[in-house]
Amino acid sequence: MTIISPMKKIAITMGEPGGVGPEVVVKALSRAEIRRLCSPIIIGDAEVIKEAVRLTGLSLGVRSIADPSKSKPAAGEIEVIDIKSRSAFKKCAPSKNAGRAVVSYIRKAVELALSREVSAIVTAPISKESLRLAGHKWPGHTELLAELTNTKDYAMMFVSNKLKLILCTIHVPLKDVPKRINEKLVLKTIRLAKKGMLMLGVENPRIAVAGLNPHAGESGIMGKEEASIISPAITRARADGMNVTGPYPPDVVFHKAYNGEFDMVVCMYHDQGLIPFKMIAFDTGVNVTVGLPVIRTSPDHGTAFDIAWKNAANPSSMIGAIRLAARLEIRVRS
C-alpha cells in the first residue's frame, strides 16, 4: 500500500483570473481530504484568490508566502505565492493582462518543480485567446510546459476511472492532422502511452491504437494511413515487447476500452479522444502531461467564462487532478 506524506508540497497555478480557475482551486483546497493528501501552495494573485474565497463563502484565510520553504499553513488557511499584476483583469473574458499573468504563474511553478521545492504541479485552466492577446505563441499549457522544461517527446494523457487515452497530435487543425501523422510520431506516442501507464502503476498495459480514418481505412478504401503509417508503428512497438494492438476503427475502440478490454487508447487527434472522454468524465477527468521531467496534472475542462465568477463551477476535476498529482509523484520516484 502506498503511503502519501501530508508534507508533500504541490504547486497549484491559479489559472486564468477571469475564468473558473480561482474558484475551483479554493473549492478544492477547502476539502479536508485534499489537505490530508498534500501541502498545496497556490501560485497566483493573492487578491484574486481572496475574492474567490468571498465569492464562494468558504471559511478560508489567505496567507501570502515568499517560497515553499515558508509554508506553515494554519487550520482553515490557504497559502499563495503572490505574483502581483500591475493591471486589472477582465472577469468572464480573455485579456492581454491575464495572458501575461498566467505565464508568470506557470514559469514560477516550473522553476519550483525543477528545483524540487515542490513535488508536482497542478494547473488551473488558461485561455488560449489570452495567450494570443499577450503576444505568446504557445497554443496551450502543454507546449509551454514542454518549452520551459526543454522537453522534446511529450504527450497529453487523459485519465478517468473507465477510460484512459493519449494523443498523437494535440492542438492541430483537423485539416492538418493527416500531414502531421507519421510512423515516428505514432511509435513515440505508443511509447509515451506505456510510460504514462507505468506512472499509474500498470506494469504491462494493454494499449490499443485507433485508426485515423472511418472504419480504420476499410482496407484502404477510406484511407491508406492505417496500412502505411499506423500498422508499421504498431509492429515496431510490438517488436520492442509492448502489448499493443490495432489499428482499430475509432467508433469501436473506445467502447472496448470502456468495457475493460484495453488499459489505454492511442488517439490520432484531439477530438477523436476528447469527445468520448468528456462524454463520460466531463467533471472528473484529469489531464496529465507525459514525458516532462516534472509531474503535471490539470482538470480536463477549460476556463468556462460563461459560468465564471458566479459560484457555479464544479471543482471535481480539480480535486481529481490534485489527487492524481500526489499519486503520480510517489509512483514515479519509488
198-250 pLDDT per residue, tens: 999 999 999 999 999 999 988 889 899 999 999 999 999 999 999 999 999 99
Domain locations along the chain: 1-151+293-334, 154-291
pLDDT at 332 over 80: no
DSSP 8-state assignment for residue 87:
S
Q: Mark 26-56 as b/e (b = at least 16 C-beta within 10 Å).
A: bbbbbeeebbebbbbbbbbbbebbbbbbebb
Place of cell 498523437: 168
How many angstroms separate the CA atoms of 230 and 159, rounded?
Answer: 23
pLDDT tens digit sequence for 134-185: 999 998 899 999 999 999 999 999 999 999 999 999 989 999 999 999 999 9
pTM: 0.93
pLDDT tens digit sequence for 92-110: 999 999 999 999 999 999 9
Parallel, antiparallel, or unpaired: how do β-strands 164-167 and 155-159 relate?
Answer: antiparallel
- CATH topology of 1-151+293-334 equal to that of 154-291? yes
Superfamily of domain 1-151+293-334: Isopropylmalate Dehydrogenase (3.40.718.10)
Q: How confident is the model at residue 87 (pLDDT cuts 50, 70, 90)?
A: confident
pLDDT at 86 over 70: no
Strands (E), the chain: 9-13, 39-44, 61-65, 77-82, 120-123, 155-159, 164-167, 207-210, 244-248, 264-267, 286-290, 296-299
Closest CA to 60 of 76, 74, 49: 76
**Phi and psi torsions of 315, nearest 5°:** -85, 5
According to DSSP, the residues that pair with 296 across neighbouring strands are 121
Instruction: Name the CATH architecture for the domain at 154-291.
Output: 3-Layer(aba) Sandwich (3.40)
